[in-house]
Amino acid sequence: MVSLRSADKDEYDDEFDDFPELDQAALDKLDGKKDPIMLEAEKHLLDVFGYPHFRLLQEQVVERLLVKRKSALVLFPTGGGKSLCFQIPALCLPGLTVVVSPLISLMKDQVDVLKRKGVAAASIDSSLSVDETMDVKRRVRDGTLKILYCAPERLSNEGFIEMIRNVRVSMLAVDESHCVSEWGASFRPEYLKVARFADEVEAEVVVCLTATATDKVARSICESFKIDPEHGIFKTPVYRSNLRLNVLTASNFEDKVKQMVPHLKARTGPAILYVALQRQTDELVDALKKFGIAASAYHGGLDPEKRKQIQNDFMASDKGVVCATIAFAMGIDKSNIRIIAHLYFAQSLEAYSQEVGRAGRDGLPSDCYLFLCNNDLSILEGFIRGDTCSKACILAWLTHFSTLKDDPSDPGVVAVSSYHQSADFDIRGTQLGIYHAQLELDFNMIRTLTPSYSIYTIKPLSPALWKQVTSDQSTEGLAIIQGWKFGTSLYTVDVYELAASSGVPRANIQRKINQWEMRGLCELKVSGVKARYAIVGAGLPKTPAALDALAGEIYSIGITREERDMARLKQVIDVATGSSCIAKALSDYFSSEFDGEGGRCGTCSWCKTGRAGAFPRPLATHEGAPISQNKINAILSVVSSRDDPRFLARFAFGIATPRLKEEGLNAKHELFGSMDDCPFDLLLEIFSKACAGHSTVRKIPVRAPAGSGSSRGKASSSSYRGGASSSRGASSRGKPYRRG
């Protein structure tokens, strides 16, 4: 592993200062010893990006990729210049560089910057029109595109994989690569497929990049991408002396606001205040307004244009304040942020380190605040406990999955609504994605394919144009015209249902409707997304015993992950309430070099006061935790089912699940979350006893064949427009909606 030396610290602290002018004679002498491709890299660095030399360990990374042609893992802090580590090599290499990045907005920002610098870069995502998508694909095929960004979900698209297989992939860059590792705090199942993609497209070299990774996560990434852990890891210190890490104690939300107001009024630059839930962003904006502080609310539920406007306004501001969920995270590259405050607890030290790393990138002193409040812990524990479901739910889902029939249009392929699966088996969408990834990568039973839409709604544009549609005499055209359903002004086609009844392949039906739209004869709206899976190997087991064993294995993995996430939350608590320097403890966690004198940073709240952070009251423990038998009885009287003690525990704790609606309940029920002051594992123990002696076998819902036109479900659709909609990727990690 290559680390930044202590002697480099001044350069690290001043990483955003103007680069000093170098003596030309010294440069000429140095250049004579360099590999020609490194001279080309330096030329691009200056001519394209305006920097006369590399900083930190950028040069060593670039040299490994270009000269040694070996893969690398780059562990630089937020704002440490990771992007240049793949952008510069991409300009020097002869083929295409594919960049896997988790957010469309982040991809667009980087592509826009590169385009302004004259770099042939593009992204391929669901926001593009048909014409834009076709143009990107043409440039990939003819070799005029140098850098292509895509989301990890794109790696399940057969057409995309086939396109990339037919071009030379000189480099694959994996941004936020900690998402690859199940040991990481931001694990995303789609990222598990990136390593397989690298092999399938024969990427010549791979560079993985992240700001936060423990040694265990780093080893996991290296193992996935065959990176030499001894020479292929490039790491700079986590510790930054200009960040003052403060831990504060608060009794409630109002107390937090009152404590933050003086700091916000005295601020000399912009501020980001992080909260846990979407609704809390508006609550915080309203609370600050009463003190004369203007702020904007930002969260993932806002319209994309609104989010973009808020982000742009913040980036252009001198003292702007944004109240945000963690959706306001990656891509915020502003050097003069003076305050980062976590009004609600961070879920992991990785998340905390990444978020506070957005402060003071110009090297000037900046303040970071983390609040300790008892009421917040149940919210954070709810995030962790919410995704884990019972073994009975997993078994019911697997049993149903094993009985699905092939799509008549695609032998060996099954199509299913993930929303229906989630609702029917009480498995959250994010967790369902993990289960599918396990069946695919751990058990080699399925392969995820490009999703498709089941419902096509057709809007005529004019009588003359519509006549061309209704006069279509092709086999597909006649089947569609005979099978569509007419409303007041729109025609609806369920392509799966029509394929089953007419015998015309589904793909042919979809192709014909898209052709009508491409010719400008109509406009389309698509909905009812169907996940598609190819059955590989022997497929899912068929016997009850084998299915039960598989369910038990998947359940055990989920429980292990839940316990690991709870341990991460405890690590944040331990650092915040520990009797030592906070910055030193954070560096130790990441096995990172620490330059503070005497093991102290001198600026954190512990170093300044000598007192550890503390919660307002002792934390509830398993022993002697508050238990109300009246509440237990009330919950048992409201929820009649006794097949899943975990569902009862989640209802009592305040964790929303897809099954709430099935039970005739919702998150506004007075008993929902009424026992959130009780440890979750104790609630699970109590309700397990209440369910003892009752059947834990979940009934498998009887549904019509896939694509039967059921209106139930969340439609993933596009607005009417003159262009076919491409498939949408899965969302990032979901959060439970709690009482209030």
CA–CA gap between residue 264 and residue 272 (Å, rounded): 10
Assess whether 401 and 276 both reside in one domain.
no
pLDDT in tens, 537-561: 889 999 999 999 999 999 999 999 8
288 and 263: one domain? yes
For residue 661, the model assigns a pLDDT of 82
Residues 231 and 247 both lie in one domain: no
Q: Write b or e for each residue in 335-373: b if 16 or more Cβ atoms lie within 10 A of its Cβ, otherwise e.
A: ebbbbbbbbbbbbbbbbbbbbbbbbbbbbeebbbbbbbb
| Cβ burial 77-116 (10 Å sphere, 16+ → b, else e) | bbbbbbbbbbbbbbbbbeebbbbbbbbbbbbbbbbeebee
Is residue 503, in this structure, part of any structural domain at all?
yes
Q: Is residue 114 part of a domain?
A: yes
Which residue in this structure is represented by tokens 């709870």? 566
Alpha carbon 735 to its chain centroid, in Å, reads: 12
Mean pLDDT of 230-234: 94
- Helical axes 429-437 vs 418-425, angle rounded to 10°: 110
pLDDT for the residue numbered 656: 86
* More confident site: 195 or 17: 195
What is the structure's pLDDT at 3? 64
In-domain check, residue 193? yes
Per the CB < 8 A criterion, the answer to whether 586 and 238 are in contact is: yes
Least confident of 4-13, 76-85, 272-281, 447-456: 4-13
Give the pLDDT band of residue 535 (cuts 50, 70, 90).
very high
What percent of the chain clears pLDDT 90, i.e. is strictly above it?
Answer: 50
- Comparing 188 with 90, which gets the higher pLDDT? 90
Domain end position, chosen among 175, 207, 235:
235
> How far is it, in rounded angstroms, from Cα 59 to Cα 664?
61
Q: Which of 185, 205, 235 is the last residue of a domain?
A: 235
pLDDT confidence bin for 662, thresholds 50/70/90: confident
Q: For residue 258, how many other CB atoms are within 10 A of its CB?
A: 12
Looking at the fold, whether 404 and 351 belong to one and the same domain comes out as no
Q: Is residue 44 situated within a structural domain?
A: yes
Q: Are residues 35 and 137 in the same domain?
A: yes
560 is a domain residue? no
What pLDDT is recorded for position 322? 96
- 250 with 297, same domain: the answer is yes
Q: Residue 31's domain spans which residues?
A: 2-235
If we measure between CA atoms, which residue out of 368, 729, 676 comes closest to residue 531? 729
Token representation of residue 111 = 């592509």
pLDDT at 57 over 60: yes
Residue pLDDT, tens place only, 12-45: 333 333 333 444 444 444 445 678 999 999 999 9
- Provide the domain count of the chain: 3
97 in the same domain as 39: yes
Alpha-carbon distance 671 to 340, whole Å? 35
Higher pLDDT, residue 701 or 503: 503
pLDDT score of 620: 52
Write down the mean pLDDT value for the chain: 85
Q: Which residue type is seen at 641?
A: S
115, 84: one domain: yes
Question: Residue 33 class from Cβ within 10 Å (0-12 exposed, 13-18 middle, 19+ buried)?
Answer: exposed
Give the least confident one: 351-365, 545-559, 633-647, 652-666.
Answer: 652-666
SS3 content of the chain, % helix, strand, coil (to 5): 45, 15, 40
Q: What is the DSSP letter of 83?
A: T
pLDDT of residue 701: 67
More confident residue, 554 or 375: 554
Number of H helices, E strands in the chain: 28, 19
Q: Which of 506, 535, 564 lies at the terminal end of a domain, its last residue?
A: 535
pTM of the full predicted structure? 0.79
Angstrom CA distances, 300 to 306, 312, 353, 560, stand at 10, 16, 21, 29
pLDDT at residue 153, rounded to an integer? 87
Task: Supply the pLDDT for residue 115.
Answer: 94
Percent of the chain with pLDDT over 70: 87
- The structure tokens listed for 254 are 């109002």
Shared domain for 360 and 472, answered yes or no, is no
Predicted local confidence at residue 708, as pLDDT: 38
Residues 283 and 333 in one domain: yes
For strands 96-100 and 169-174, give the pairing.
Answer: parallel
Residue 530's beta-bridge partner residues?
452
CA 694 to centroid of chain Cα atoms: 38
pLDDT value for 371: 96
Looking at residue 589, which CATH number applies to its domain?
Answer: 3.40.50.300
The answer to whether residues 470 and 365 belong to one domain is no
Pair 12, 76: CB distance under 8 Å: no
- Return the pLDDT at 241: 92
Averaged pLDDT, 267-273: 95
- pLDDT of residue 184 exceeding 80, the answer is no
Structure-token match 């059921």, residue found: 710
Q: Residue 668 domain-assigned? A: no
Band of residue 183 on the pLDDT scale cut at 50, 70, 90: low
- Residues in CB range of 635: below 8 A, 6 or more apart: 648, 651, 652, 671, 674, 675
pLDDT of residue 727: 30
In a domain, 570, yes or no: no
**Number of Cβ within a 10 Å radius of residue 668:** 9
- For residue 67, name the pLDDT band (cuts at 50, 70, 90): very high
pLDDT in the model for residue 292: 96
225 and 252 in a single domain? The answer is no
Q: Please list, in sequence order, all residues whose beta carbon lies within 8 angstroms of the beta carbon of residue 465, skipping any fewer than 6 positions away.
A: 520, 521, 522
Evaluate whether residue 623 is within a structural domain: no
Task: Return the ∠ at Cα 433 (arms to 445 and 202), rounded to 5°.
Answer: 65
